[in-house]
Structure formats: structure tokens, C-alpha cells
Amino acid sequence: MEQIPSAKYDVVICGAGPAGLNAACRIATGVPGSHVVLLDRKLPWREPVSCAEAVSKSALERHWPVNEAWVRQHLDGVVFVSPDGTRVDFTQKECGFILNRAAFHKEMAETAAAKGVECHFSADCRRIFRDSEGYWNAEVFENGVSSLVRGRVLVDATGPGAKLTRNVPGLDYLETGNFDLEPAIFAIAEGIPHDPHKIELLFGTQYFPGGYGWVFPRDGKTVNVGLVNGRRFLLSHPPRKMLNAFLAERYPGAKVLSIHGGAIACGQSFRALAEHGVFKAGDAASCVNPISRSGIVEALKSGEVVACAVKEWLAAGTGEERGRIEKSVLDRWMLVQGKGHFRIAKAKPGFSSISDVQFDRAAHKLAAVPATKLSLFRIFFTVLCSTPGLLWKMRSFLF
């Protein structure tokens, strides 16, 4: 790949996940003749993605056209498993997908390139700074060579706990992407009994305190099996140790093919999402659902919010107008999803306080309900009602 020229771009996007890719596609579409460059240290489709890859069908379709080439599996529901192993089977035909994230990212990257975005996927962005002309400079190492990539606007979509904008003069109030970071780990494994059209969500304090475990189908043979725990349990329940113990107990005959892990920014911050021509998107903006820990569709939405604001910023005639646009980005995200995330985050401690006995009690009641009468609301409400005082603790979520 050619070395990146030391040229001036309209927009420099750092990070080629769903947020950065979607922002690139939409900025290039909306600004004829714009000069957009997309940087990432690795090809978005060459390395495993630290994600369970499940999404809602209806939610995804609102933000990107579905291509069967990158759908691993169609989903028809969820099986909830209580600590004592009681299973509550919820069926909803064609409710979601298991994605092949690598293929999905490749399609998005190819779409961006077709729209004129200059893509560099071996470009490691180490730091940023603003020069005397008001341009943002990204110091990039590509194939061992250092260069400066300059942009009127810089979009940070580098992921959870992103450090790109920390301690940079002028960006004091900008989101840092490390709000309520939680550890997650999963294995790609064979030999685990499962329904190829349903995901399993498992609860219990033995392995998943403050979080949950999962078994997600992939191709009829392999599964993605993993867990995410509350942040405060990191030392008492080390993620890899918990995953190994869980697999050994529940699926002793499983064959683990690979193990992956990472941090999830599981909270809603009220820090600014744009300052002085720098915009935050996706996990770098703490846009993950605090309880479900889902982030794919959330990242797509965040990319759209940022793309719209960036196009307005580029077209703005004055610094005052640009400042107004920057301040509006957080409000736009709040309107799209942030307010819901804030309410969920407030309810999270209450949900995390549900004991194993209370989960089991709710599961026993739900298991006796005919499948035709089960709904997600009924499942959720039954769990809440199994816990004295929990409805009051979670009133911010319910009302």
C-alpha cells in the first residue's frame, strides 16, 4: 500500500468499525467532491472481532441494507437460562441475525471506497494535534513510515477506552470512551448442543455476576460462547478463569477453537461528543447499551449522527455556527438513543442485584406459561416482580 501523502483532507476518520465505516460512507455521499480519508491499523475484515455478532433484524435494516452474504444465521428467538438451569424459551420468527462481522465490514469498506473515500488499513494513528492553520494532524505509522494526515475535521471512532483524544489541548471536555468499561470474553467452540436459530442468555452469580453468559449459533456447528461481568467483579471473577470453569462444567466435551476478549464501554456519559472540529463516534463515544452490552446498531446510529453533524460543520460559514453544531451532537445522540441508555444505566445496579434464587423463582413461573402467551415484556416484568423492592429501584427505567 502506498504511503499516505501529507495532504489536507476535509475529514480524517480514525477507526474502521461500524461507526467509522458508516460515517465515512455518509459523509462522502453528502458532500460532493469532499476529500475523506479512513484510517485503521488493520484490515477491518482480516482479524476476529471481539463481539457476539447478534443484532435485531428491524434495527439493522433501518441503518444498512441486509446482505445474505454476511448473515451467518437467522434468529427465531431467545432461550433464557436461570442459575439452576431452568429454560424459558421465547420464540419470535425472524427477529434477528448473527452476522459475519468481517464480511459486513468488508462490504462497508468497499462501499466507502466506491464513494471516493481514501482507505488505509495498515495505518496506525498514534496521536493527534492541532496546527497553526487550524487543521487536525494525525501522526500515522504505515509500513514503518511516519506521516502526518491533516484534516479540517477529525472523527475518532477508534473503539472503547480510546486514548486518541486524551490530554489533547482544546479537547478537555470531550468524551474519552472509557465510561464503565467491563471485561468480556468468548470462545469459538464446537461440540456444544444448541438451537441453531436461537441465542441463549444465561444468568447466575457463580460465573456471571453483574452480567450474563451466552451461547450464540454461528453456522450450525460452531458457537460463540462467552460472558461479560460487572466491572466490580473483575478481581473476584477473572473473565478467562470464569469462562474456562463454565465450559468445563456445562460443556465438558466442547472443543475450543479460539478465545477472544476485550473491554466494553457500558455506560452513558454526558461529556461532549464534539469540540473544535473533533467528533467522537461508536464505542469511543460510549454508545453501548449499558445492560445488553450491544453496540453494533448503536455504532451505526452514532456514525449517522456524526456524519450529519460533520456535513453541517463543513458547510458552516462561521466559527460560532460550527460551535453550535458541535454542542448539538450530544443532544442529537440523546434524542436517537442516549436518553434510553441513561435510563438503562440508572436501572443497571438494581438489575444486577437480582439474586440467583429470584432468577430461578421467575424462571419457574415463566416455564409454566404456554409459549404462545410469552412476550419479552412478560418475561421482564416477571423477573422484576420476583424481587421485593426491585420495581422501586428500577423506577427510572420503567417510568
Report how far residue 96's alpha carbon sits from residue 164's, in angstroms, rounded to the nearest whole number.
34
Task: For residues 29 and 168, state if they share a domain.
Answer: yes
Classify residue 339: in a domain, yes or no: yes
Task: For residues 257 and 293, state if they share a domain.
Answer: no
Task: For residues 106 and 19, state if they share a domain.
Answer: yes
Q: Name the domain boundary from 265, 299, 319.
A: 265
Q: Name the domain boundary from 350, 376, 394.
A: 350
Question: DSSP class of residue 320?
Answer: H
How, if at all, do strands 87-99 and 54-56 pair?
A: antiparallel
Classify residue 323: in a domain, yes or no: yes
Classify residue 249: in a domain, yes or no: yes
Query: Between 399 and 8, whose confidence is greater?
Result: 8
pLDDT (tens digit, 9 = 90+) per residue, 178-237?
A: 888 898 999 999 999 999 999 999 999 999 999 999 999 998 899 999 999 999 999 999
pLDDT at 258 over 50: yes
Confidence of residue 163 (pLDDT cuts 50, 70, 90): confident
Give me the mean pLDDT over the 255-260 stretch: 94
Query: Between 149 and 350, whose confidence is greater?
Result: 149
Left if phi > 0, otherwise alpha if psi is -120 to 50, otherwise beta: which for 97? beta
- Please report the pLDDT score of residue 248 as a whole number: 97
pLDDT at 386 over 50: yes
Report the CATH number at residue 216. Answer: 3.30.9.10
Q: Name the domain boundary from 246, 265, 284.
A: 265
Give me the mean pLDDT over the 154-174 stretch: 90
Task: For residues 93 and 187, state if they share a domain.
Answer: yes
Query: Between 49 and 91, whose confidence is greater?
Result: 91
Q: In a 10 Å sphere around its CB, with 0-12 CB exposed, 13-18 middle and 19+ buried, how is residue 291 labelled?
A: middle
Confidence of residue 264 (pLDDT cuts 50, 70, 90): confident
Report the CATH number at residue 162. Answer: 3.50.50.60
Classify residue 55: in a domain, yes or no: no
Task: For residues 223 and 337, state if they share a domain.
Answer: no
pLDDT (tens digit, 9 = 90+) per residue, 295-325?
A: 999 999 999 999 999 999 999 989 999 999 9
Classify residue 35: in a domain, yes or no: yes
Task: For residues 256 and 289, state if they share a domain.
Answer: no
Classify residue 271: in a domain, yes or no: yes
Cell (9 digits) for 268? 452513558
Classify residue 307: in a domain, yes or no: yes
pLDDT (tens digit, 9 = 90+) per residue, 220-246?
A: 899 999 999 999 999 999 999 999 999
- Please report the pLDDT score of residue 376 as a whole number: 83
Task: For residues 137 and 187, state if they share a domain.
Answer: no
What pTM value is reported for the model? Answer: 0.92
Task: For residues 294 and 164, state if they share a domain.
Answer: yes
Classify residue 211: in a domain, yes or no: yes
Q: What is the Cβ-side half-sphere exposure of residue 117, based on CA atoms within 13 angstroms?
A: 30
Task: For residues 319 and 190, state if they share a domain.
Answer: no
Task: For residues 94 and 109, state if they share a domain.
Answer: no
**Summary mean pLDDT of the chain:** 90
Task: For residues 141 and 281, state if they share a domain.
Answer: yes
Question: What's the 3-state SS for 256-301?
Answer: EEEEEEEEEECCCCCCECEECCEEECHHHHCCCCCCCCCCHHHHHH
- Please report the pLDDT score of residue 60 as a whole number: 96
Give me the mean pLDDT over the 326-331 stretch: 98
Q: How many domains does the chain have?
A: 2
Cα separation values, 136 from 6, 155, 253, 276, 324, Å: 12, 10, 53, 9, 19
% of the chain beyond a pLDDT of 90: 71
Which of 81, 388, 83 lies closest to 205 in space, CA to CA?
83
Range of the domain at 219: 73-98+182-265
Task: For residues 209 and 302, state if they share a domain.
Answer: no
Residue that is written with C-alpha cell 441513561 in the block: 342
Confidence of residue 352 (pLDDT cuts 50, 70, 90): confident
